[in-house]
Amino acid sequence: MKVEPAIEALMQQVGSTECRSLPFGKVLLKNGAKQSLTKAATSPRGRVLLRNEALGITQLSQALGDHLRVPSVNVLHDDETLCALELTSVKGTPPRSWRAPHQGLEDMLNSEQRETNLHDILVAEQVEKDLIQTLLDRHGNPCVPVAPSHGDYIYWNLLCAPNAKPGLIDFEYYSPARLSFYDDLHFRVAPWLWRLIRLKMPLGALRKTLQIFIKNHHTNLPSELVFDLFVVHWMQIANWIYFSDPDANDHHEFPRLRIGPRLLDRS
């Protein structure tokens, strides 16, 4: 891969000889002599994601640290040309599937939980006004439990090691307030959604899969409200990434932006 001058200079600074490409213009730098790694980006999207990862680790590490191994983070560089984070290495191997035993994040973040009305959740997610009104007409404006969210809690981001707590990585999709059990639902649902999307299954199969997992999750909230909020959170993560680069013209590369509105459409 071609390495940009800013990344080359960073590699010399941190003493790295290995540079691996990551999604959205990010790179991973490794140095075997250190118990740390460096994530860096020069692209607009990559810089936004790394800044959010640093914020997510900072905000969640105290609440999660009693139960999970969470990396510590040090911001090495952050301006309009380069963002670079030094992260402590979290050792381990991901489980083979979503069926592996795991701890739910909702209980770990229980002390951070609060209630927010639906309107404010949708506004915070920067949902379009017409969709906000549609969802308010459909559900009213109930209070919903929200909590800080990892955003990409899935089995391949959970690292297991002998005689150690599980490790959790990749905090780039962090949010200060999503549906309190979004992460736990995402852990089970997301692998199936991506599999069905890759197989180009009909929309009804996606909707039915999500409805089944919601039905099996114990909550006092109406299932249709949970369905819509899950889809909104899932869709708006992609929306946020897409619009973080004002010069991008690759909407088609984000299947969530195509599928999300269709899942929310009841007509």
Which residues partner with 179 through β-bridges? 146
Q: Which amino acid is at 10?
A: L
Distance CA 211, CA 205 (A): 10
Domain boundaries, the chain: 5-88, 105-264
Nearest to 168 by CA among 50, 87, 86: 87
Distance CA 153, CA 240 (A): 18
**17 within 8 A of 7, measured Cβ to Cβ:** no
Give the domain 5-88 fold.
Answer: Phosphorylase Kinase; domain 1 (3.30.200)
User: Is the C-alpha dihedral spanning 67, 218, 152, 30 positive or negative?
Assistant: positive
Distance CA 155, CA 27 (A): 22
Q: What is the pLDDT along the chain (267 residues), one digit of tens a residue?
A: 688 999 999 999 998 988 999 999 999 998 767 789 999 999 999 999 999 999 999 999 999 999 999 999 999 999 999 999 999 999 999 998 888 888 899 999 999 999 999 999 999 999 999 999 999 999 999 999 999 999 999 999 999 999 999 999 999 999 999 999 999 999 999 999 999 999 999 999 999 999 999 999 989 999 999 999 999 999 999 999 999 997 888 877 899 999 999 999 998
pLDDT of residue 32: 67
Distance in angstroms between the alpha carbons of the first and the last residue of the chain: 47
**84 within 8 A of 10, measured Cβ to Cβ:** yes
